[in-house]
Chain A
Amino acid sequence: MQTPTDAPTYLAAELRLPTNWLDYTILAIYFIVVLGIGFAARRSVRTSLDFFLSGRSLPAWITGLAFISANLAATEILGMAANSAQYGAYTVHWYWIGAIPAMVFLGLVMMPFYYGSKVRSVPEFLLLRFDRAAHLLSSILFAFAAILIAGVNLYALAIVVEALLGWPEWVAIVVAGAFVLAYITLGGLSSAIYNEVLQFFVILAALIPITVLGLKKVGGWGGLTDKLTASHGENFTTAWGGTGIGSTNPLGANWLTIVLGLGFVLSFGYWTTNFAEVQRALSAKNLSAGQRTPLIAAYPKIFIVFLVMIPGLVAAALIPNFGASGSGYQYNDAIPYLMQELLPNGVLGIAVTGLLAAFMAGMAANVSSFNTVFTTDIWEKYVVPGREDRYYVRFGRLITVIGVCASVGTAFLASSFSNIMAYLQTLFSFFNVPMFVVFIVGMFWKRASAKSGFWGLLAGTVTAMVNYFVFYKKGIVSLPTDQGANFVSAIAGFVAGAIVMFAVSLFTRPKPAQELRGLVYGTRSPGMAEPPAPGDDAWYRKPALLGWGAVVLAAACYIPFSF
């Protein structure tokens, strides 16, 4: 799930890390490799499909790890550690119920439609299933949101780098922006994906030592729970304690809003319709690999929660009132604080590299999905259609430059108007919800008419925003926390979108059945009959087994946190 929006991205100033030449050497090696991947991937770009979708030719383990990495941006890592320091073990919900079911649903149910219809983007699927109005609305909203999130990522990077390494903010913004610009412009999606896979392993090498040493410092898991139970109460280290309807807990949500709001609406909206994620699966080499992309990603996702939650809990256990005003620390300081306390030079360099890599990968995922949507969905369809393919590759490179410059601009804006940015970020977070309702109704109900897509999208977006910004923020409806309000707004947007789609469909003409082949559940697109690749029939490559295995594993993980 996406990073909670109420966690501010500031770090306390005294967290300067004792880095030395060794740590900088490790960092420099990484930057050289990143650029090298960009240059080496350049020669694989011949067509626009190579540039935007890696020619639909990558193996499943690469697209799967890139899928998880695109989500494992540094804002997510710092944000989820902050979430744990603030709310405790409730963080597991963002992973086990707020990610795994949706990822499995994407792989098992939705990928055959996405991959089989050969669309190049999520909005393009809406164009086929609905009409140009739904397509254009979703493309433009996505393009704006992608640039905004890329900019927010850059700004967060600048703050962290300033606090930890002492670089001025503008230096960090320009350096990180320049590297992302260089490797995506050169190698397109392939170099973005390759760098994401590399980042996945570096961030693991950074988080594992922090988690192990953090646990050792508080006396193991037993010592950690004892300390937290004494200081934060019984429920802090459980997943469901205090979430009964009517009871109060720090998260401000009950089990019903957690399951429906986070587990169903928000999570399915993010994982199944956010093109920055789906794009990785669309670049896989065949349908089986496309289906396995989110399923392979689900397994690391189940366990990564420990690497972000434990540092957050350790920080909360070590420092009284960690994160509260007066403690000298923000919630987001959890991981940087442990880096400073525990890591000697060497591993410290790996950890700094991992954080920077995660920031850059988070930004690159947004930039590489933005340039695809802007070029194939907006420019090629509505502005300059019908040119030769090479033109669109050139345009894709140009728009990458423009997109990165726009996010650098956004990052500078964010540094002067951080409240407006937080507001905008929340605003766009509601955009995935109506996207999901439009998809799910469109995929499972043949009768949903061409016009219903646009109106469902609009109604759902407006309802979620009105609920959050008017009813909640103006105090008309009282909800205990921003997180809780987030969940409720998502549910409201989902219901409104579904009702409007239903109503509009009743009064408008359905799409002819022949135009729905392969787009609606129970139909098959003509091109889907390709034979499985050799080896894809191995039992461990069966999507159903992989998918249900992940669901069972995630459910089993809940057991020790439930009693």
Chain B
Amino acid sequence: MTEQPGQPDHPGRHHHYTEDDVARDVTDLEAKSATAARIFDLRRIIGGLFVVYGVIVTVVGITDSQSAIDKAQGVNINLWTGIGMLLLGGVFLAWLKLRPTPPPPPEGLPEEEEPA
């Protein structure tokens, strides 16, 4: 356990780690954080994946043989699941359309080199 006495830049990292130190460190990091500005909108991914899955499974359902339907207790489960997935994907894309990603807050800091 190393003590780091003379570290004015990192007052929080010596022995008496108090709530103020945590609050200062985290506030400092929050100001430099890039997630809010740069993370992509997940709704697009969910919407896209479920539309693709929905199309595949619906087409399978339309062309399913009688044996596949018999296996699923007489239900065309591929068709129904496919339609359900298409709807879910559509809801996410519509939500994205109606409430687009808010523009990223202006980044207060000059572009830094990405950590490797």
A residues near B (Cβ < 8 Å) are 22, 25-26, 29-30, 33, 36-37, 40-41, 43-50, 54-58, 62, 117-120, 124, 127-128, 190, 194, 197-198, 201, 205, 208-209, 212-213, 216-217, 285, 341-347, 350, 380-386, 389-390, 393-394, 515, 517-519, 525-527
Contact = CB atoms under 8 A, between A and B. Distances in A.
A216 B26 CA distance: 54
Contact of A343 (B17, B38, B42, B77): B77
B77 A526 contact: no
Given A43-B114, A46-B115, A385 B4 contact: yes
A34 to B, nearest CB: 10
Contacts of B98: none
Tell me if B's interface is mostly helix, strand, loop or mixed: helix
B45 A33 contact: yes
A355 to B, nearest CB: 15
Given A346-B56, A382-B2, A527-B27, 11 more contacts: A45-B35, A46-B32, A56-B33, A118-B22, A118-B27, A208-B81, A209-B77, A212-B75, A346-B68, A350-B57, A386-B10
A6 B14 CA distance: 45
A49 B38 contact: no
Interface of B: 1-2, 4, 7, 10, 13-14, 17-20, 22-23, 26-27, 29-30, 32-40, 42, 45-46, 49-50, 52-53, 56-57, 60-61, 64, 68-69, 71-73, 75, 77-78, 80-82, 84-85, 88, 112, 114-116
A25 B52 CA distance: 11
A390 B45 CA distance: 29
Given A216-B75, A347-B78, A515 B35 contact: no
A119 B18 contact: no
Contacts of B46: 197-198, 201
A37 B75 CA distance: 35
B18 A45 contact: no
Given A201-B50, A526-B23, A50 B85 contact: no
A152 to B, nearest CB: 28
B81 A55 contact: no
Given A44-B35, A45-B115, A525 B23 contact: yes
Contact of B61 (A197, A343, A346, A381): A346
A49 B2 CA distance: 23
B115 A347 contact: no
Contact of A393 (B27, B39, B57, B115): B115
A440 to B, nearest CB: 19
Contacts of B71: 341-344
Nearest to B3: A385
A57 B61 contact: no
29 contacts: A22-B60, A26-B53, A26-B56, A33-B49, A37-B45, A41-B39, A43-B34, A50-B34, A54-B39, A55-B30, A55-B34, A55-B36, A56-B30, A118-B22, A118-B27, A127-B17, A198-B46, A205-B50, A209-B81, A213-B72, A217-B73, A342-B72, A344-B69, A385-B2, A385-B4, A386-B4, A390-B115, A394-B115, A515-B19
B68 to A, nearest CB: 4
Among A46, A118, A208, A386, the one with the most B-chain Cβ atoms within 10 Å of its Cβ is A46
Given A49-B33, A381-B17, A385-B2, A350 B53 contact: yes
Nearest to A18: B71
Contact of A347 (B7, B35, B57): B57
A198 B45 contact: yes
Given A33-B45, A49-B26, A527-B27, A519 B19 contact: yes
A385 B81 contact: no
A205 B85 contact: yes
A515 B42 contact: no
Contacts of B72: 209, 213, 342-344, 347
Contact of B19 (A54, A57, A525): A525
Given A26-B56, A119-B22, A386-B4, A45 B49 contact: no
B111 to A, nearest CB: 10
Nearest to A191: B39
A384 B78 CA distance: 55
Contacts of A344: 64, 68-69, 71-72, 77-78
Contact of B68 (A25, A209, A212, A345): A345
Contacts of B18: 128, 515
A270 B85 CA distance: 33
A29 B77 contact: no
Contact of B34 (A37, A46, A386, A526): A46
Contacts of B7: 386
Contacts of A45: 34-35, 114-115
Among B112, B114, B115, B116, the one with the most A-chain Cβ atoms within 10 Å of its Cβ is B115
A124 B26 CA distance: 12
